[in-house]
Chains A and B, each alone.
Chain A
Amino acid sequence: MLDIYIMGKRYQVPEGLTIQAAMEYCGYRLIRGCGCRAAFCGACGTVYNFKNDPTLRYALACQKLVEQDMYLTQIPFFPAAKPSYDLEKMEPTGEQILKIYPELLTCFGCNNCTKSCPQDLEVMWYMSDALRGDIKEVAIKSFDCIMCGLCAARCPQGLVPYNIALLCRRLYGRYVTPRSKHLDDRIAEIEEGKFDAEIKELQNMSLEELRQRFDKRKILKE
């Protein structure tokens, strides 16, 4: 058994539990701070340190295993700016980002955001890319962001890096990536009814005919 401290109170839990499972083992019924339990949703971003080591560490409670003398808490919610905007009326430029998030200019590069990221993203570097208007770089560097909010919680300037990155990615996906011609062509063909007869034919087949058609279909790999 391990000794852990939840909000300062000591508990004993078996080894091998995640922070989330350890809290449940101690009797906590989670409402906030618990989501997909698989490191995708960002609901359980948390901080911890140790009884005799005050250095703050960052993790997802659904992934991090408890260790002896860990001090644990929950950060179920952190206030963050999220302005409304209409993507259709925007341009993929640095000026656009600054118009929505003018406070971006106040970033002084302390790097707390990067240190707090449980996905190990280069948050401060994508913030400086955003400042320079390099939307593509922001999109690439921030792509694996699960929006847990720890970067915003630790920013001394009150910036919300994850929302700034989201705006950049949306502009990149909407305006910068080249269009897929075969997708547009297919949508037009469907609207013209090009496949209706063939689908109708499949719907009118007997089960046996349909089964044969299925088993004989050619399978492409590439």
Chain B
Amino acid sequence: MPYPSYMEESIRKVEATRERRLKEELPRIPVGERMPVLKAFHPDFIKACMRELLVGPNKGERTPNELADLLEGNSRIDPDKIDPELNSGVDYDVDVLVIGAGGAGASAALIAQETGADVLLVTKLRLGDANTVGFQGGTQAADRPDDSPALHYLDTMGGARFTNDPKLVEALVKDAPSVIKWLESLGVIWDKKPDGSMAEVALAGECVPRCHCCRDYTGLEVMRVLRDEVKSRDINYVEFAPAIELIMDEKGQVAGAVLVNLETNEPLLVRAKAVVTATGGIGRLHIQGFPTTNHYGATADGLVLAYRVGCPIVDLDTMQYHPTCAAYPLAILGLLVTEKTRGLGAQVLNIDGEQFAHPLEPRDVLAACIIRECKERGKGIATPTGQVGVWLDSPRIDMIHGEGTVAQNLPAMVRQFGRFNIDITKEPMLIYPALHYQNGGIKFSPDGSTPIPGLFACGEVEGGVHGKNRLGGNSTLDLFVFGRRAGRTAAKYAKGVKPGKLTLDHVRQWQRELKEAGLAEVRPISPKLLPDYARQPYDYLADYVTERLQPGQIKVA
């Protein structure tokens, strides 16, 4: 018995209702009736956790406090110390610089190179260390004969309560089948039926099963193939070298970036005719204190860089809380439990073993329903640490599809819970929502360009594709659709652009604005680069040590 013995009574109830629940299906909440539960229980609607930005292109708009701090943050660099180097000798001089080497960045680099550009791919951690590698459920594409891109369009818009940019969604759904084909041509092994046809699974909010999976290691499979292809094509890449500032030219075009060697602090200057930002998401900011499914490096760096060169951000006020993430054991708190688990038939149950929401509601709605069940109705199950959760009834999958289905389709989940002696083929998983995805992001167009010349964006860092709520399987599609588009557009742009003299004047201007708004003294340094998990409870240093070791360091409020 891996769960604490006091949970046994509740697990027995889950088992007792399972036979009856085999045929039980709760109604879905119509799209027009979702707002009351969202407003009452979804974290996006907790007003005290957001504030208005005081500077920059989104001045006056609301965003979570944790992100606002960074968007209003201070630059690490002193432009006067770097400027002389800029036009005399840079470390790299390329056509296209891609910042971020997850699924979107790797796709952009591959296609930019195919389009004839000299490409440099840089990343904060290792090549492929990104949220991409952890996606389990799969990638949407309307390729079944009874499906259509128009239905995919309708589902995507409806899932977001029609807040998406229609042109971006059109690009997303129309490119989807060719993305699946492209990845297969690179050697990705998709789940298929014996005759070779794709074996799609239904995720939440879609009217036809259209999610393409590689067991539940989809992101791992795709990322290791893309990483191998980048290496095989000898694309130049630099690891452990995050961008800390973009470089502009005197014509107002983005023209490179300042990187830093994360281990030695050596700055690296890159001149590039075009810059693709593919830095991913935000989960490690732990918005509102939520645990996260995200990668160690997901700290909103690309948003900060783009914001500082004047690029607006859209849908800043919404985050996605994935409804089903591990609530127990503590060691894997926040671990993503793929939506495919629900797609295959697992229901979401309260302490009495009863359903309280349709398992395939869109993510925002289901997350709100789970929070309501625990916080308002008191029907959650408390763990020894006080974390609360509800059951995700994985054994029901084998009852529907036959024994062995869970083991075959969810090997990562079986293995990860198995490490803690929980057998998810026999016992349910205890889950609760965790911070999962940045719905919004850099404002951009279907071709990957942004309002700032020379700056392109793809993947989680951009916004508009998913409006204020993303459907499962659409973010991974977004990576490849817009990664490819941004790579192609940036390479073509690089061929035609006439770069001017390089400058960091925008950084001087930014620091002036911060000072005038009274923020320079009280805001942190950004981009953040890595979360602060190292426990440092020591207070023994003389004040002058901090001052002397970190000249220009600004006190954090």
Instruction: List the one stretch of B4-12, B84-92, B145-153 in contact with chain A.
Output: B145-153
A147 to B535, alpha carbons, bound, how many Å?
29
Closest to B220 in A: A40
Do residues B126 and A219 form an inter-chain contact, with CB atoms below 8 A? Answer: no
A17 to B196, alpha carbons, bound, how many Å?
44
* Cβ-based interface call for A131 (8 A): no
Do residues B170 and A190 form an inter-chain contact, with CB atoms below 8 A? Answer: no
Contact A37 to B295, CB < 8 A, known contacts A84-B234, A213-B154: yes
A60 to B233, alpha carbons, bound, how many Å?
30
Do residues A207 and B162 form an inter-chain contact, with CB atoms below 8 A? Answer: yes
Q: Within the complex, which residue of A36, A172, A181, A182 is in contact with B133, where a contact is CB–CB below 8 Å?
A: A36
Q: Within the complex, which residue of B144, B187, B329 is in contact with A169, where a contact is CB–CB below 8 Å?
A: B187
Interface of A is mostly: loop
Do residues A17 and B331 form an inter-chain contact, with CB atoms below 8 A? Answer: yes
Task: Report A29-45 CB contacts with B as 1/0, cut-off 8 Å.
Answer: 11110111111110100
Q: Within the complex, which residue of B196, B220, B419 is in contact with A146, where a contact is CB–CB below 8 Å?
A: B220
* Cβ-based interface call for A18 (8 A): yes
Do residues A38 and B332 form an inter-chain contact, with CB atoms below 8 A? Answer: yes
A205 to B64, alpha carbons, bound, how many Å?
33
A194 to B335, alpha carbons, bound, how many Å?
41
Task: Report B515-531 CB contacts with A as 1/0, cut-off 8 Å.
Answer: 00000000000000010
Do residues B224 and A183 form an inter-chain contact, with CB atoms below 8 A? Answer: no
Instruction: List the one stretch of A107-115, A152-160, A195-203 in contact with chain B.
Output: A195-203
* Cβ-based interface call for A174 (8 A): yes
Do residues A180 and B331 form an inter-chain contact, with CB atoms below 8 A? Answer: no
Do residues B126 and A43 form an inter-chain contact, with CB atoms below 8 A? Answer: yes
Do residues B232 and A219 form an inter-chain contact, with CB atoms below 8 A? Answer: no
* Cβ-based interface call for B40 (8 A): no
How far does the Cβ of A204 sit from chain B's closest Cβ, in whole Å?
A: 10
How far does the Cβ of A206 sit from chain B's closest Cβ, in whole Å?
A: 10
Contacting A at CB under 8 A, from B216-258, are 217, 219-221, 224-225, 228-229, 231-234, 240
A147 to B227, alpha carbons, bound, how many Å?
11
Do residues A143 and B215 form an inter-chain contact, with CB atoms below 8 A? Answer: yes
Do residues B187 and A174 form an inter-chain contact, with CB atoms below 8 A? Answer: yes
Instruction: List the one stretch of A19-27, A47-55, A67-75 in contact with chain B.
Output: A19-27
Closest to B161 in A: A211
Which residues from chain B contact A9 at a C-beta distance below 8 Å? none
* Cβ-based interface call for B129 (8 A): yes
Do residues A187 and B177 form an inter-chain contact, with CB atoms below 8 A? Answer: yes
How far does the Cβ of A31 sit from chain B's closest Cβ, in whole Å?
A: 6
* Cβ-based interface call for A82 (8 A): yes
Task: Report B148-173 CB contacts with A as 1/0, cut-off 8 Å.
Answer: 11110111011000100010001001
Which residues from chain A contact B296 at a C-beta distance below 8 Å? 30, 34-37
Closest to B345 in A: A221
Contact A32 to B232, CB < 8 A, known contacts A37-B296, A38-B134: no
- Contact residue range for chain B? 35 or more
Which residues from chain B contact A218 at a C-beta distance below 8 Å? 207
A198 to B147, alpha carbons, bound, how many Å?
13
* Cβ-based interface call for B276 (8 A): no
Contacting A at CB under 8 A, from B395-436, are 411-412, 415-416, 419
How far does the Cβ of A49 sit from chain B's closest Cβ, in whole Å?
A: 19
Which residues from chain A contact B214 at a C-beta distance below 8 Å? 143
Instruction: List the one stretch of B178-186, B312-320, B346-354, B441-449 in contact with chain A.
Output: B178-186
Do residues A211 and B536 form an inter-chain contact, with CB atoms below 8 A? Answer: no
* Cβ-based interface call for A220 (8 A): yes
Q: Within the complex, which residue of A17, A143, A211 is in contact with B162, where a contact is CB–CB below 8 Å?
A: A211
Do residues B295 and A119 form an inter-chain contact, with CB atoms below 8 A? Answer: no
Do residues A177 and B192 form an inter-chain contact, with CB atoms below 8 A? Answer: yes
A100 to B106, alpha carbons, bound, how many Å?
23
A180 to B240, alpha carbons, bound, how many Å?
39
Contact A84 to B133, CB < 8 A, known contacts A31-B262, A211-B32: no
Which residues from chain A contact B224 at a C-beta distance below 8 Å? 145, 147, 166
A207 to B330, alpha carbons, bound, how many Å?
44
How far does the Cβ of A89 sit from chain B's closest Cβ, in whole Å?
A: 11
Do residues A217 and B207 form an inter-chain contact, with CB atoms below 8 A? Answer: yes
Closest to B240 in A: A31
Which residues from chain B contact A163 at a C-beta distance below 8 Å? 228
Do residues A177 and B189 form an inter-chain contact, with CB atoms below 8 A? Answer: yes
Q: Within the complex, which residue of B129, B146, B228 is in contact with A35, where a contact is CB–CB below 8 Å?
A: B129
How far does the Cβ of B124 sit from chain A's closest Cβ, in whole Å?
A: 9
Q: Within the complex, which residue of A30, A32, A183, A185 is in contact with B240, where a contact is CB–CB below 8 Å?
A: A32
Closest to B293 in A: A38
How far does the Cβ of B347 sit from chain A's closest Cβ, in whole Å?
A: 14
Do residues A27 and B153 form an inter-chain contact, with CB atoms below 8 A? Answer: no
Closest to A29 in B: B534
Which residues from chain A contact B173 at a C-beta distance below 8 Å? 199
Task: Report A68-97 CB contacts with B as 1/0, cut-off 8 Å.
Answer: 000000000000001011110000000000
Do residues A172 and B412 form an inter-chain contact, with CB atoms below 8 A? Answer: no
Which residues from chain B contact A172 at a C-beta distance below 8 Å? 187, 189
Do residues B533 and A30 form an inter-chain contact, with CB atoms below 8 A? Answer: yes
* Cβ-based interface call for A179 (8 A): yes
Do residues B129 and A41 form an inter-chain contact, with CB atoms below 8 A? Answer: yes
Which residues from chain B contact A184 at a C-beta distance below 8 Å? 181
A-B contact pairs, 8 of them (CB 8 A): A29-B533, A38-B335, A65-B331, A139-B189, A143-B221, A145-B224, A171-B187, A178-B195
Sample of 8 more A-B contacts, CB < 8 Å, known A169-B187, A202-B153: A31-B262, A35-B126, A36-B131, A38-B293, A39-B412, A41-B220, A143-B215, A172-B189
Closest CB pairs A-B (n = 5): A178-B196, A170-B187, A214-B158, A29-B534, A173-B189
